[in-house]
Amino acid sequence: MPPHVVIIGGGLAGLAAAAGLAGRSGLTVTLCESRPRWGGRASSFLDQTTGESVDNCQHVALGCCTNFRHFCDLVGIGEFFQRESELAFIDGAGKISRMAAAPLPAPLHLAPAFAGFGFLSWRDKIRLAWGLRALARLRTPAPTGQSFLDWLRQHHQTPATIERFWHVVLVSALSETLDRIDIGHARKVFVDGFLAHRAGWEVWVPTAPLDDLYGTRLADWLTARQVTLRLQAGARRVVFNTDPASTQAESSRAVGIELRSGEVLSADEVILAVPQNLVLPLLPAEWQSHPALSGIQRLETAPISSVHLWFDRPITHLRHATFVDRLSQWLFNRSAIHTRTLESAPATTTTAANPPETHYYQVVISASREVLARDPAETIAAVVNELAGVWPVVREAKLCHSRLVTEHKAVVSMLPGVDELRPRQQSPIPNLQLAGDWTQTGWPGTMEGAVRSGYLAAENVLRRCGLPASLIQPDLPVARLSKWLLGL
Ligand SMILES: Cc1cc2nc3c(=O)[nH]c(=O)nc-3n(C[C@H](O)[C@H](O)[C@H](O)COP(=O)(O)OP(=O)(O)OC[C@H]3O[C@@H](n4cnc5c(N)ncnc54)[C@H](O)[C@@H]3O)c2cc1C
């Protein structure tokens, strides 16, 4: 009998692990997901008022997310992403500063765009350039507990650069405030995104609902490669050999999983790809306190909110915008971006509340603790008011429908020292792998981190089954000038 691999959790980590194992002769693979849909935190829901499939929140990837992009191409959904090579920053006065790469090699390609930022003075820009260089050249690990905000202050960054540049970039990338960010993770965002390669910063936006991508299309791809897919199949626990006659090695092997229905699936290899707070309850008490696993319960999370707005007319021709000095952080013009639905997906319906002329926008607020403390109607009103300050047409437009969605545990916070708490994919249980954006990947909690973790877990399983293969993709190559100027 070929080894049976059971993957628990159908978010991007579990899906990437399944994709990495799919179609390999000599393995059978089962993927179990507790919810009635795939995609985990990157999924959609049906908005009852408009009848539209609405993403829980806009998800974007960057050019430096090489594994995520490989995964999308592998499973045939890469064409449903649009590369955006120009960003619009809108400052407190409503002035737009555009960011696009100049025809210069990295790390100079964005220098003219940064020089044109209307929301920073020349003094700020010089400090910013100096700060970016110091960050890139940082070699020694930061003193334990030092936050990125401390580092910025020590490196003479002005309040304007901190609020209008460092915060704006990092709150979107890591969903945390600067005082709660590890220096190493902050450095990674700027090095991989802005300094190492010309394409690292480019934004990849899905042009179809996430449910279509990670649900319909991906499920078809996995099924065609003999992966058994089971929705509404939540695991209750990982089963171990409890025969008193078994050796210690035998009793520390997982032999299967028990579903909440009571059904038991036997397994030779298990990949646990559930969120960090749900891992330990699936394991016996003696494993929960193992030093390699016990740090999991100290991981903290940050919320992300999205405000969904349907207006009766267009409010801007921009496809997306980044805000400076506002509660709103990003605006996505979903009607302009969302151009494609898969043939296999059910057509979205048009209801009375959703006449063809409605225009759908989504505003993202990361690290949204402030939003959690407010009444939702107050947040929606504050966001609409901010948009009206930039585009006066909003005052005349009719807001046909709106809703606020907050994911309370959206991502693990990259607090100073967080990597000491993140376990590797190979758990201390030999035939049990961990996957998820919260595991040790070198990346923060992102789609790239989730896919990397799934690939790493799948590589471990393949190695253990005598079918070694490499799944992890290389980073974008570092430009020669970046090596020379910044020592990258
Ligand atoms: C609002 C929001 C916005 C975001 N924006 C971005 C972005 O723009 N770019 C980006 O890169 N990342 C973004 N992220 C982060 C990204 O969504 C996550 O990093 C990624 O989806 C995590 O995937 P995962 O598989 O590790 O975990 P999850 O997606 O949480 O998947 C875990 C799965 O396990 C299932 N499960 C749990 N318990 C069981 C059980 N007992 N049995 C079976 N199944 C179980 C869950 O239902 C879930 O489907 C965002 C996240 C949120 C919440």
Place of tokens 């603790």: 369
> Atom of ligand 1 at shortest distance to CA of 306?
1
User: Does position 268 have pLDDT exceeding 60, yes or no?
Assistant: yes
Distance 53 CA to ligand 1 centre (A): 18
Predicted confidence (pLDDT) per residue in 152-175, tens digit: 999 999 999 999 999 999 999 999
Mean pLDDT of the 341-348 span:
40
Nearest protein CA to atom 10 of ligand 1, as residue: 446
Task: Check if 4-42+211-297+415-464 and 44-83+203-209+300-412 are the same fold.
Answer: no
Q: How confident is the model at residue 341 (pLDDT cuts 50, 70, 90)?
A: very low
Question: Can you give the pLDDT at residue 248?
Answer: 77
Residue 351: phi, psi to the nearest 5?
-110, 175
Q: Which atom of ligand 1 is nearest to the CA of 278?
A: 38
The pairing of beta strand 269-272 with beta strand 432-434: parallel
pLDDT at position 353 is 46
- Asked if the 4-42+211-297+415-464 domain carries CATH number 1.10.1520.10, the reply is no
Residue 350 has pLDDT above 60, yes or no: no
pLDDT band at 244 (very low <50, low <70, confident <90, very high): confident
From 192, 213, 274, mutation site for ligand 1 pocket: most ligand atoms within 8 A of C-beta: 274
Per-residue pLDDT of 36-74, as tens digits, reads: 999 999 999 999 998 889 999 999 999 999 999 999 999
Consecutive H or E run containing 333 = strand 330-333
Pocket test for ligand 1, best of 41, 170, 446 (most atoms within 8 A of CB): 41
CA-proximal residue: ligand 1, atom 52 (nearest): 410
CA of 23 to the centre of ligand 1 (A): 24
343 pLDDT above the threshold of 70: no
Other CB atoms within 10 A of residue 156 CB:
11
The residue-averaged pLDDT of 237-248 equals 86
Residue 357's pLDDT is: 79
d(CA 312, CA 47): 17
Over 50: is that where the pLDDT of 344 sits? no
Is the model's pLDDT at 346 over the cut of 70?
no
40 alpha carbon – ligand 1 mean position (Å): 4
Q: Provide the 3-class DSSP secondary structure of residue 85.
A: coil
Percent with pLDDT over 90 in the chain: 89
Tell whether the model's pLDDT for residue 386 goes beyond 60: yes
Q: Whose CA is nearest to atom 37 of ligand 1?
A: 274
Where does the pLDDT of residue 339 fall: very low under 50, low under 70, confident under 90, or very high at 90 and above? low
pLDDT of residue 356: 56
Residues 130-143 pLDDT 10s = 999 999 999 877 66
- pLDDT given at position 247: 80
What whole-number distance in Å separates Cα of residue 352 and Cα of residue 273?
41
Using one digit for the tens of pLDDT, what is the confidence trace for 397-419?
999 999 999 999 999 999 999 99
Residues with CB under 6 A from ligand 1: 8-14, 32-35, 40-42, 56-57, 59-61, 234-235, 273-275, 278, 304, 407, 410-411, 436-437, 445-450
Give the span between the Cα atoms of 215 and 194, in whole angstroms. Answer: 32
Tell me the average pLDDT across 13-32: 96
Nearest protein CA to atom 31 of ligand 1, as residue: 11
Answer CATH for 44-83+203-209+300-412 from 3.40.50.12280, 3.90.660.10, 2.60.120.380, 3.50.50.60: 3.90.660.10
Torsion of CA 285, 287, 288, 292, to 10 degrees: 170
Q: Per mean pLDDT, which range of 342-346, 358-362, 423-427, 474-478 is the poorest?
A: 342-346
Q: Whose CA is nearest to atom 49 of ligand 1?
A: 40
DSSP 123-189: HHHHHHHHHHHHHHT--SPPPTT-BHHHHHHHTT--HHHIIIIIHHHHHHHHSS-GGG-BHHHHHHH
CATH of 104-198 given 3.40.1420, 1.10.3110, 1.10.150, 2.40.50: 1.10.3110
Percent of the chain whose pLDDT exceeds 70? 96
Closest of 234, 232, 215 to residue 273, by C-alpha: 234
Q: What are 82-103's pLDDT values in tens digits?
A: 999 999 999 999 999 999 999 9
Ligand 1 pocket test target in 8, 43, 59, 406 with most atoms within 8 Å of CB: 59
The structure tokens listed for 17 are: 């692990």
Average pLDDT score, the chain: 94
Q: Where are the domains of the chain?
A: 4-42+211-297+415-464, 44-83+203-209+300-412, 104-198
Looking at residue 342, its pLDDT comes to 40
pLDDT (0 to 100) of residue 340 = 45
pLDDT-derived band at 348 (thresholds 50, 70, 90) equals: very low
Asked whether the predicted pLDDT for residue 326 surpasses 70, the reply is yes
pLDDT digit string, tens, across residues 455-473: 999 999 999 999 999 999 9
Nearest CA-CA partner of 332 in 353, 306, 358: 306
Q: Which atom of ligand 1 is nearest to the CA of 259?
A: 42
pLDDT higher than 60, residue 352:
no
**Pick the residue with more confidence: 261 or 351?**
261
pLDDT score recorded for residue 252: 87
